[in-house]
């Protein structure tokens, strides 16, 4: 007999949403390291909520508490191509928020019936009866062992559940490096930066409560060196960095096809970025996290004869959406096509200074 019907590994938007939806209906365990403590793990993230993510929460009739939002709320993105020195502004409707407060708010919605373990899952094995044994290490260092009939990997790009299920599966990965600075720029702004000399992905900057955040996604090899080189190049565009208050980094996935998505098998499931569900064009993942969690909750509650197959089938529209993002990538990341798009001015706005 297992300790729990379901063990959810990871308590970000995917894991917290799934725990909220099914946690009151079965014996569930949530394993996650984030707490209100100042030394708690915090997701390195710019903290912008995209329109797709806003729609996902609207469908649950959820409203954000105002203390999650931060100043300022900006309605355009300054887009810079460092290769051509071309610059355009594009209207965008992101919500600027404190990502850690956002994550903790999502966890606060989880039913009290759900058992929460604050720490990390270190090892997964399958028992002879097909259930799972999880070896976990708490934030305080103590080791605990749990058993579960089913496990759900909601543990992001470096998912231990995906490694357990698909040890040979490789999804293109980057190292996201991000630094926080005191705001010294004359006016707050968002930006999106393309610099093929340092990365074939993108970088970003965000102003947030008198803090200026700059980050980017880089190939793991020499990622910090390329990050610093890009900062130097941006100083010519008026970016002011100063001494960083903190530096953080994490792995981020960037699928190259719908076949990179892994949904799980034999009583184990993957949701959110752990499944490879993240936009390869913008690296936006919250909408995919919330929607995949909702779909899996519906499948599990529906008592399908083959829930793994049912979940995989329900995910097909999300695979198609990933494909559409893959097809969009050349217009953003191919230097020639990007130059043509930006110089055309299509969908850009004129900023009156």
Please give the residue that has the higher pLDDT: either 330 or 351. Answer: 330
- Enter the tokens of residue 112: 């009290």
CATH superfamily of 4-46+100-169+257-328: FAD/NAD(P)-binding domain (3.50.50.60)
Over the chain, what is the mean pLDDT?
Answer: 94
**Residue 243 clears pLDDT 90, i.e. is over it:** yes
74, with CB counted inside 10 A (0-12, 13-18, 19+), is middle
**Could you say which DSSP state residue 272 is in?**
G
Question: pLDDT band for position 338 (50/70/90)?
Answer: very high
Determine the pLDDT at residue 34. 84
Q: Which residue has the tokens 């070896």?
A: 135
User: Which one, of 46, 278, 253, 265, lies nearest residue 158 by Cα?
Assistant: 253
Which token pair is 257? 């096809």
Question: Between β-strands 76-81 and 190-194, what pairing exists: parallel, antiparallel or unpaired?
Answer: parallel
pLDDT, tens only, 7-39: 999 999 999 999 999 988 889 999 999 877 766
Taking residues 209-234, what's their average pLDDT? 95
CATH number for the region 66-98+172-254+332-349 comes to 3.30.9.10
Domain limits, CATH 3.50.50.60, in the chain: 4-46+100-169+257-328
Vertex 213, ends 209 and 216: CA angle to 5°? 155
User: Where are the CATH 3.30.9.10 domain residues in the chain?
Assistant: 66-98+172-254+332-349
* Alpha-carbon gap, residue 284 to 278, rounded angstroms: 6
pTM of the shown model: 0.94
Residue with tokens 């996290």: 289
Could you read off the pLDDT of 39-90 as tens digits, one per residue? 667 778 889 999 999 999 999 999 999 999 999 999 999 999 999 999 999 9
pLDDT of 236 reads 87
The pLDDT tens digits of the residues spanning 278-302 come to: 999 999 999 999 999 999 999 999 8
**pLDDT tens for each residue of 90-123:** 999 999 999 999 999 999 999 999 999 999 999 9
For residue 69, the cross-strand partners are 97
Pairing outcome for strands 4-9 and 143-153 = parallel
pLDDT at 5 over 80: yes
Phi/psi at 158 (nearest 5 deg)? -100, 40
- Phi then psi for residue 155, to 5 deg, are -105, 30
């Amino acid at each position: 007999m297992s300790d729990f019907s379901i063990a959810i590994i990871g308590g970000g938007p995917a894991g917290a949403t799934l725990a909220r939806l099914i946690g009151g209906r079965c014996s569930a365990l949530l394993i996650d390291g984030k707490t209100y403590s100042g030394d708690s793990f915090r997701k390195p993230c710019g903290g912008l909520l995209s329109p797709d993510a806003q729609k996902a929460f609207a469908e649950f009739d959820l409203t954000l508490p105002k203390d999650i939002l931060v100043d300022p709320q900006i309605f355009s993105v300054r887009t810079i191509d460092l290769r051509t020195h071309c610059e355009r502004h594009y209207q965008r409707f992101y919500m600027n928020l404190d990502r850690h407060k956002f994550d903790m708010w999502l966890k606060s919605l989880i039913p009290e019936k759900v058992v929460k373990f604050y720490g990390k899952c270190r090892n997964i094995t399958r028992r002879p009866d097909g259930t799972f044994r999880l070896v976990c290490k708490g934030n305080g260092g103590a080791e605990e062992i749990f058993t579960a009939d089913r496990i759900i990997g909601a543990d992001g790009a470096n998912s231990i559940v995906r490694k357990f299920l698909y040890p040979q599966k490789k999804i293109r990965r980057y190292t996201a490096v991000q630094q926080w600075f005191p705001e010294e720029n004359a006016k707050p702004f968002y930006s999106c930066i393309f610099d093929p000399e340092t990365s074939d992905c993108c970088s970003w900057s965000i102003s947030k409560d008198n803090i200026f955040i700059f980050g980017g996604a880089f190939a793991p090899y020499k990622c910090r060196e390329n990050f610093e080189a890009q900062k130097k190049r941006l100083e010519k565009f008026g970016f002011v960095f100063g001494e960083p208050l903190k530096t953080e980094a994490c792995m981020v996935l960037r699928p190259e096809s719908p076949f990179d998505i892994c949904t799980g098998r034999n009583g184990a499931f993957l949701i959110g970025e752990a499944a490879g569900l993240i936009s390869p064009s913008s690296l936006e993942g919250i909408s995919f996290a919330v929607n995949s969690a909702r779909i899996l909750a519906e499948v599990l509650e529906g008592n399908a004869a083959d829930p793994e197959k049912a979940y995989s089938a329900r995910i097909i529209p999300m695979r198609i959406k990933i494909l559409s993002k893959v097809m969009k990538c050349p217009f953003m990341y191919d230097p020639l096509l990007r130059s043509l798009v930006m110089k055309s001015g299509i969908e850009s706005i004129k900023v009156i200074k």
